A and B are shown apart, each in its own frame.
Chain A
Amino acid sequence: MRKLILLSLMIIAALALAACGASDADAPAKAVENYLTALVEKDGDRLPTLVCGDWEADALIELDSFQAVTARLDNLSCSQTGTDGETALILCTGNIIATYNGEDQALDLSGRTFQVTQENGEWLVCGTR
């Protein structure tokens, strides 16, 4: 049993070390992808956890605009294009396909740049340009 405890502690320590050294270079782009996923899934509970405080009200308004339609993501891919001070700038390709009354409408995602900031170590969507 002592060996088992020791093994568990070693696994946790290894994971903790991996955690400390984990690269989060893709984290800002991932934050935008998570945001868009929550948006099309109309997940009003998860969405506020993915955005900064200043953008929360806007995010919920954007969510409301999808309430009457069925939405899905098509070929979504996000990547960081630059920074503006401490803000990461993220550009996405792909579309949101909004279906209303059986009719599909593609909303091109490449038209806007997402601003992503870090709050308490978490990357959060904090506006668009």
Chain B
Amino acid sequence: MLAWRRRADVLSTMFFFVIVVSLFPLSISPEPQLLRSIAPGVVWVAALLASMLSLGRLFANDYADGTLEQMLLTPQPLYLIVLGKILAQWLVSGVPLILVAPILGVQFGLSRESLLVLMLSLLLGTPVLSLIGSIGAALTLGLRGSGVLIALLVLPLYIPVLIFGALAVDASIGGLPTQSHLSLLGAILVLSLVFAPWATSAALRISIE
């Protein structure tokens, strides 16, 4: 809640994303054909890593200052509170990525349609990253070195999102239909929207004991 008060977090996530993505054209080769073929993978992997950056802080601060206990003890359903926290986290970590993605796509010589598909796939995919990540954040609460542990727990679960997100952009570059990939991403989103807050709530109750 009010993650906006810590603007540094938002900017660091976004700059990390921008820099990682920009490193590839600089380091590999400026050849447009090659860049276009690696673009979907690069942008998606960078988005994945960038969204991991702020995950550790999702519940850690609340845990440290006792507000998490208070949230568990409110008459509101914990499911909704957790969903609210995840939504706020997505707004400050996911949405900026979606907004800067087209600018980065231009670096890779993507066409207008491909840029649109890239944004659409990120729009469907980044909430899933936040949702799944929240489970990892809740499970590793209060542990030492939780950052690495979150990555180990959560990254394997991110793989389907990565595959379909990158495939959708890939397909649009090749002029193929993208609808099936995007529909699958949407399906993953709906599924995680239902189950992730529930799993996170259960994990929080265990962590707080």
Do A and B come together as binding partners? no
Q: Which residues of B contact A (CB under 8 A)?
A: none
Q: Which residues of A contact B (CB under 8 A)?
A: none
